Amino acid sequence: MPQHFDAVVIGTGQGGSPLAVRLGESGRKTAVIERGAFGGTCVNVGCTPTKSYVASARAAHVARHAAELGVQLSGTVSVDLAAVKARKDRIIGQSRDGVEKWLRGTDNVAVFKGHARFTGAHTLSISGPDGAVIDTLSADQIFINTGTRAVVPPLEGLERIRYYTNSNLLELTELPEHLVIVGGSYIALEFAQIFRRFGSRVTVLVRGERVLTREDADFAESVRKVLAREGVEFRFGVQPSRVEPHPHRENDVCIGFEQNVPALEASHLLFATGREPNTDDLGLAAAGIAVDKHGTIPVDGQLRTNVPGVWAIGDVNGRGAFTHTSYDDFQIVAANLIDGDSRSVDTRIMAYAVFVDPPLARVGMSEAEVRKDGRAALIATMPMSRVGRARERGETDGFMKVLVDAQSKRLLGAAIHGIEGDEAIHTFIDIMTAGAAYPTLQFAMHVHPTVSELVPTLLDGLQKMA
């Protein structure tokens, strides 16, 4: 007979781990199942490792430009990738071990290692590395938190070459001579700047005519200009059709294109072409759990699937693709099931950042979305060169933008490409979450000298959007 639990959480990502702990602390007999490394994508191959690389890359960049601030350094600035990786691994290890100890040390929480599959609406099997079933569980409530993985396009010749995704690129101990990146979105650009600052030649292949297609064109161009100035090469309107081993250099790659575009040679090839949900091997059909054409699990505002007693949280539900949205999913479920509250993902205001340097951060609607919506709106922009903090630090790239509903005076959206924009954006996030009109922020007294102190000045410049 299966072991019975009040609740089972599948996956220990940023939504699953705290949910399992809250469920256990509430007195529910809870099981949590993890088939890989504790902590999920963010801890192991996402936010934590990449942002540690961003920090190392920034240190190298600042050192190379120290003379601009009157600081003289002798010798050439170089990067020891093995040392960068070792530091990253230490940081990951601390976080991963912390998650596991937290779960195993929580009363009413049992930890299972293995791969979970549904055998019915409320029953699961757990298999080991060899595929043999090692445990069976049943539960009144089941929470799916299995995340996503990198998409690799099915190119001709792919089986003959060495290629990388965000996961295994982080295992390199020697710098690529020439890193070619397929993709023009967030992950692609972060890695492009990291490895260019490390010292690699970097070429980014973009299928369309610009990067960051979800962002306003002016922000996309602002980011591209910074990376291009640092030496990142961009090729637009190209899409690889085939790959093959280099005829003379072991492990190098030749990338072919259609339409008479010359082939490109690379020492390393990274695919940053999107992510897909880890749902294809969960046995969802046996439970009757619906998935859409992308493999994500549709949920309602309270993150419930079509099967009563089963929830999907985190990237797997398609309602957000960030660590903070996953954690917010946990908070919504916990509020509704444990705290007697009534929260919904439908009221969430989307916010995120692209961690290039300087970062691009955004909340709410873009200008393009507001224009498409057709409502009367106010808009203001301001270059970062007007920000004292930016001038003092010698980092004046980028600009701010804010959009306001002309009738209600509530903020519709804002974005910042500039130094510390990933922190300053929270001034907008908090006001929007509170539902306050923009004068609440406009007339606030901010600390000088900071980036946020220019937000009220930005709002002073609001004009009717033409």
Q: What percent of the chain has pLDDT over 90?
A: 98
Kindly report each contact of residues 61-67 with a partner whose C-beta sits within 8 Å and lies 24 or more positions away, as own/partner: 61/197, 61/230, 61/357, 65/394
Would you state the pLDDT for residue 260? 84
Q: Is 178 a catalytic residue?
A: no
CB 233 within 8 A of CB 204: yes
132-181 pLDDT, tens digit each = 999 999 999 999 999 999 999 999 999 999 999 999 999 999 999 999 99
Q: Could you give phi then psi for residue 452, rounded to 5 degrees?
A: -65, -25
Would you state the pLDDT for residue 76? 93
Would you state the pLDDT for residue 366? 98
Would you state the pLDDT for residue 380? 98
CB 360 within 8 A of CB 421: yes
Residue 216 confidence (pLDDT) above 80: yes
**Amino acid letter, residue 98:** G
397 carries a ligand binding annotation: no
Cα separation of 351 and 156, whole Å? 38
Would you state the pLDDT for residue 244? 96
Residue 92 confidence (pLDDT) above 80: yes
* Closest of 83, 52, 77 to residue 65, by C-alpha: 77
* Closest of 305, 301, 406 to residue 348, by C-alpha: 301
DSSP 208-276: SSSS-TTS-HHHHHHHHHHHHHTT-EEEES--EEEEEE-SSSTT-EEEEESTTPPPEEESEEEE-S-EE
Q: Which residues pair with 410 in a beta bridge?
A: 437
**Residue 25 CB neighbour total at 10 angstroms:** 14
Give the torsion through C-alpha atoms of 288, 290, 293, 299, to 10 deg.
Answer: -160
Q: Which of 4, 65, 446, 448 is catalytic?
A: 448
What pTM was estimated for this model as a whole?
0.96
Cα separation of 433 and 456, whole Å? 18
184 carries a ligand binding annotation: yes
Would you state the pLDDT for residue 174? 98
114 carries a ligand binding annotation: no
Residue 73 confidence (pLDDT) above 80: yes
Confidence grade of residue 258 (pLDDT, cut at 50, 70, 90): confident
Q: In sequence order, which ranges of 260-416 are alpha helices (DSSP H)?
A: 284-287, 323-337, 367-373, 388-393
Domains, the chain, ordered by start: 3-149+276-347 (3.50.50.60), 158-271 (3.50.50.60), 351-464 (3.30.390.30)
Residue count of the chain, please give it.
466
37 carries a ligand binding annotation: no
CB 267 within 8 A of CB 178: yes
Output the CA–CA distances (angstroms, integers) from residue 415 to 368, 371, 430, 452, in the order listed. 12, 16, 14, 12
* Closest of 450, 430, 452 to residue 440, by C-alpha: 430
